[in-house]
Amino acid sequence: MKANVPRRSGSGLGEAAMVPVRLVMGAVDAPLRWVQRRLGIGGMATFFLLPNMLIFGIFVLLPFFINFAYSMTGGTALFLPDRTFVGTEQYARLFDCVNYADPNSCTEDTFWTAVGNTAWFVLLQVSLMILFSLVTALILNRDLMARSFWRAVFFFPVLLSPVVVGLIWKWILQRQGLLNFGLYSLGLEPHTWLNDRNWSFAATVGVSIWAHMGFYTLILLAGLQAIPKDLYEAAEMDGTRPARAFWRITLPLLMPNLLVVVVLVLIRAVQIFDEVYVLTGGGPGTSTLYLTQYIYETGFATQLRNPGLAAAASILMGVVLVILTLVQLGLGRKGENKGARK
Amino acid sequence: MTKTRTMLAALAIGLMSSTAAVAGDVRIMWYSDGVEGEVLKDLLDRFMNENPGINVILDNVSYSVVREQLPVQLEAGNGPDIARVTNLKAQSQHWLDLRPLVADAAYWDENFGEQADWMRPDGSNQISGFMTQITIAGGFANKTLFDQAGVAIPGKDATWDDWAKAAKQVAESQQVPFPMALDRSGHRLSGPNLAYGGNYIGADGKPAPLDDGSKNFLTSFVGWVADGTMSKDVWVSAAGSTYRAAADDFINGQLVYYYSGSWQVPNFSTKIGTNFDWVATGSPCGPTNCTGMTGGAGLVAVKYTKNPKEVAKVMDYLASEAIVKEFSERTLFLPAHKGVLAKGLDFKTDDAQAKTALNAFVEASKSLSDLARKLPGWHWSDTFYGALVTRVSQAAAGEMTIDEAFTRIDSDIATKVKDSGN
């Protein structure tokens, strides 16, 4: 059997580029046919998925189980065999609290402070990120002058390393930073933004939105461009107002993209670490200490590290993420089914 | 077939040659406060010219890498061959015993013996390395600001309260944002704690609960942060036990009085230059004494090295009298080498302020309390320091009262001791 590659008439660059493709396909054709004969047509799916699953297993599942094993151990030793099995003691320590709303009443007060901070951060950052990404995508989807330039402008921060993002904003927001210089030049009172609990929290939310918004805007923009134009033309002919067109056409058809964005933003928000670590270091006090930094500090940065406690905290964070993702996917499917029934 | 054989042979030769290169490599993890990285590189280049079979690779890293990443590497049985470390005692199980490897162990005992206990497991006679510098914590005053304000610089026996009052007066007069600053470090807090009568070591050698001496200074300290006498920026700028220095504020002339240590002298000499006059003041006094803390950075060999003989040769070279003398004179560091100290040093600087400051720190070393000399070799020092920084900064940020911070410090330390299985 010959490789079923469609041939196009004519010569030139395209034809020349196909030569190595044909060579490769010809080379793998015989071994693949041999594998197919051995496994059957049904087994080919497993065959093709196996390398991917192997990588996933080694780099995701295995570390997850190792991490779980760590969470069941105590002591300061790093290697699992050197550690003492303590069962669920680390989880019990994390949950040892008189009042969960008051971290000071908990044995691991810093953990609950980090949980509270992360919850507020997620709530604010996810909603604002989606709002801003959507608005930006809608604007960039219009016939703007220099549209490609504006798209590049919004996407540019995504290309920066989180450390660079943190440093840039630190230079802007610190006591003798650019922002205070501007305020001072205008005769206004400078402010210690990063020493103020509320402002530093707002800064972490704002900076993370600035740094990542471009990526989500791009996903939403792709979704917007896939919506057939004739739907809007028909709506316009029917005299539909733009707001109604947005709610009735744009939003429902954008929902799959929006769902992907929500899941990605949420996961990223819960895992926030690098730019915040550089920008505020978790301060002032612990007002911008988020869960990942707590895990990092407990497992790696403090004197006499506690990898077991850090592992338990990360397992709990993983469980929360899985639950949130499943809820969102469930809601998404429900919405799709509802749409299909209509 | 011949072609395949030729290729395999080439591959084998390539692998062998690369292994041979690794066999002679000695990797040093080094952090710098000032120019010491450049000086060391120069010294190592000279060593490699004299010893062509040994390739020394100098990895210049930040201090936080040494504090946060090196311990993990060591726990995993990896890491560099030699490292410059400040947390010497608590990690002493990872250091290589150089005693059977160095050319003359008696030379090491004689010249570095006084600090040998700081970096070896309790009860052993191991030679783990040597102190690249001895540091003394102490203060620096911006003399120009004091002069301009017409306020006299507090004298030798001035207390922390005297300094706080004078610095605040100068800051108000000169419109400077920070009267005083103290590095965000448990080590730095410990000098004044001891001066106020604090004692960290319990009767069993394990950490004791915070006593009144420490509590009294910490209460004053948090009060000074609250009323703006002490810079809030440094202490609330991070969570956990992250280290933060206020050196840049002092260099920029934004700070009247800075409590740090002798290692800042070369840094100030280079960066302040003639911008303003500054003086080293030793440590302010508390009710009990006028002690600061001693400490320093040690260069230690790591026991997971594949090339112990080469490592010992590099260590012998760097610990030799001539090299220690040159290193100290060029970096403006106080050496630990007994012989070098006895013969005296000619610090290579035209900066009279730096020379005076170094002499002031040598003078301040005479006021060190016994406890201050003991703490660098105490296993639990860093545990204590970490808890102090974490909780005091929370109190300084207004997240908890100072009494709540005291309770948390005690419970944090007790938990760490329990976690370590001791």
Mutate to test the interface with A, among B74, B91, B93, B236 (most CBs of A within 10 A): B236
Q: Are B157 and B290 in contact (CB under 8 A)?
A: yes
B25-134+296-343: which CATH topology?
D-Maltodextrin-Binding Protein; domain 2 (3.40.190)
What is the rounded CA–CA span in Å between residue B164 and residue B171? Answer: 10
The pLDDT score that the predictor gives to residue A340 is 59
Which residue is listed with tokens 């590189």?
Answer: B41
H or E segment at B139?
strand B129-142
Q: Are A282 and B184 in contact (CB under 8 A)?
A: no
Strand partners, B278: B142
Q: Are B190 and B374 in contact (CB under 8 A)?
A: no
Which of B71, B87, B237 is closest, CB to CB, to A281?
Answer: B237
Q: Does residue A72 sit within a domain?
A: no
Which of B87, B239, B241 is closest, CB to CB, to A293?
Answer: B239
Contacts of A165 (CB under 8 A, 6+ apart): A157, A207, A210, A211, A275, A278
| CA A41 remoteness from chain centre | 37
The structural domains of chain B, with segments of one domain joined by +, span 25-134+296-343, 135-294+352-419
What is the rounded CA–CA span in Å between residue B271 and residue B353? Answer: 13
Q: Does residue A27 sit within a domain?
A: yes
* A183 in the same domain as A97: yes
* A137 in the same domain as A42: no
Contacts of A187 (CB under 8 A, 6+ apart): none
Residue type, B411: S
Q: What is the pLDDT of residues B68-79, one digit of tens each?
A: 889 889 988 899
Residues 176-235, chain A, touching B (beta carbon < 8 A)? 176, 192, 194-195, 197
Partner A contacted by B394 (CB < 8 A): yes
- CB pairs A-B closer than 8 Å: 103
Partner B contacted by A166 (CB < 8 A): no
CA distances for A200 relative to A90, A122, A195, A286, B231, angstroms = 31, 15, 7, 11, 18
What is the rounded CA–CA span in Å between residue A339 and residue B298? Answer: 69
Partner B contacted by A340 (CB < 8 A): no
What CATH number is associated with residue A260? Answer: 1.10.3720.10
* A126 in the same domain as A45: no
Architecture of domain B135-294+352-419: 3-Layer(aba) Sandwich (3.40)
Q: Does residue A69 sit within a domain?
A: no
* A215 in the same domain as A170: yes
What is the rounded CA–CA span in Å between residue A258 and residue A223? Answer: 8
Residues 95-134, chain A, touching B (beta carbon < 8 A)? 104, 109-110
Give the ranges where B24-104 is alpha helix by DSSP (H).
36-50, 63-64, 70-75
Whether A192 sits inside 8 A of B233 (CB atoms) is yes
If one counts every other C-beta atom within 10 angstroms of the C-beta of residue B180, the result is 27
Whether B421 sits inside 8 A of A84 (CB atoms) is yes
What is the rounded CA–CA span in Å between residue B151 and residue B13? Answer: 74
Which residue is listed with tokens 């947390």?
Answer: B87
* A239 in the same domain as A112: yes
Residue type, A207: V
* A100 in the same domain as A49: no
What is the rounded CA–CA span in Å between residue B282 and residue B157? Answer: 10
The pLDDT score that the predictor gives to residue A185 is 94
Contacts of B89 in chain A (CB under 8 A): none
What is the rounded CA–CA span in Å between residue B141 and residue B280? Answer: 6
Q: How many domains does chain A fold into?
A: 2
What is the rounded CA–CA span in Å between residue B139 and residue B147? Answer: 17
Q: Are B295 and B187 in contact (CB under 8 A)?
A: yes
Give the ranges where chain A is alpha helix by DSSP (H).
13-56, 62-71, 89-95, 109-140, 147-155, 162-173, 178-185, 197-226, 229-237, 242-245, 251-270, 274-279, 291-296, 307-341
What is the rounded CA–CA span in Å between residue B192 and residue B117? Answer: 24
Whether B416 sits inside 8 A of A304 (CB atoms) is yes
Which residue is listed with tokens 């316009």?
Answer: A236
Give the ranges where B51-182 is alpha helix by DSSP (H).
63-64, 70-75, 105-116, 143-149, 160-174
Q: If we measure between CA atoms, which residue out of B296, B378, B282 comes closest to residue B337?
A: B296
Tokens of A182: 């501007």
* A185 in the same domain as A48: no
Q: Are B173 and B151 in contact (CB under 8 A)?
A: yes
Residue burial A71-89, b: 16+ Cβ < 10 Å; e: rest:
bbbbbbbbeeeebeebeeb
Which of B87, B232, B252 is closest, CB to CB, to A195?
Answer: B232
Partner B contacted by A147 (CB < 8 A): no
Whether A300 sits inside 8 A of B68 (CB atoms) is yes
Partner A contacted by B222 (CB < 8 A): no
What is the rounded CA–CA span in Å between residue B113 and residue A253? Answer: 76
Whether A79 sits inside 8 A of B241 (CB atoms) is no
* A317 in the same domain as A255: yes
Give the ranges where B211-280 is alpha helix by DSSP (H).
212-226, 232-236, 247-251, 264-272
What is the rounded CA–CA span in Å between residue B23 and residue B306? Answer: 7
Range of the domain at A248: 80-341
* A36 in the same domain as A130: no
The pLDDT score that the predictor gives to residue B13 is 44
**CA-CA-CA-CA dihedral for A102, A104, A105, A110, to nearest 10:** 100
Coil/strand/helix, residue B325:
helix
Partner A contacted by B380 (CB < 8 A): no
Which of B67, B239, B244 is closest, CB to CB, to A289?
Answer: B239
**In chain A, which residues have pLDDT < 50?**
1-3, 5, 9
Q: What angle do CA B370, B376, B381 make, to 5 degrees?
A: 105
Strands B255-261 and B178-182: parallel
Residue burial B182-218, b: 16+ Cβ < 10 Å; e: rest:
bbbbbbbbbbbbbbbbbebbeeeebbbebeebbbbbb
Contacts of A317 (CB under 8 A, 6+ apart): A270, A271, A291, A292, A295
Tokens of B321: 């009298």
Partner B contacted by A305 (CB < 8 A): yes
> How many angstroms separate the CA of residue A60 from the nearest CA in chain B?
21
* A175 in the same domain as A53: no
Whether B71 sits inside 8 A of A305 (CB atoms) is yes
- What does the DSSP 8-state code read for residue A83? S
Orientation angle between helical segments B105-116 and B308-319, nearest 10 degrees = 80
Give the HSE-up count for residue B264: Cα atoms under 13 Å, Cβ half-sphere. 28
If one counts every other C-beta atom within 10 angstroms of the C-beta of residue A120, the result is 12
Do B25-134+296-343 and B135-294+352-419 share a fold? Answer: yes
CA distances for A141 relative to A54, A212, A254, B316, B408, angstroms = 40, 19, 13, 69, 55
Contacts of A257 (CB under 8 A, 6+ apart): A219, A220, A222, A223
**A82: nearest CA partner in chain B:** B75
Strand partners, B410: none
**In chain B, which residues have pLDDT < 50?**
1-2, 4, 6-21
Q: Does residue A75 sit within a domain?
A: no
Q: Does residue A3 sit within a domain?
A: no
Which residue is listed with tokens 């100068």?
Answer: B170
Widest Cα–Cα separation across chain A: 81
* A99 in the same domain as A56: no
What is the rounded CA–CA span in Å between residue A85 and residue A68? Answer: 12
Which of A176, A287, A304 is closest, CB to CB, to B383?
Answer: A304
ipTM: 0.79
Contacts of A303 in chain B (CB under 8 A): 87, 90, 241, 382-383, 385-386, 416
Q: If we measure between CA atoms, which residue out of A10, A272, A109 comes closest to residue B407?
A: A109
The pLDDT score that the predictor gives to residue B69 is 87
Residue burial B6-39, b: 16+ Cβ < 10 Å; e: rest:
eeeeeeeeeeeeeeeeeeeebbbbbbbbbebbeb
Give the ranges where B273-401 is alpha helix by DSSP (H).
308-319, 321-331, 338-343, 352-364, 370-374, 381-396
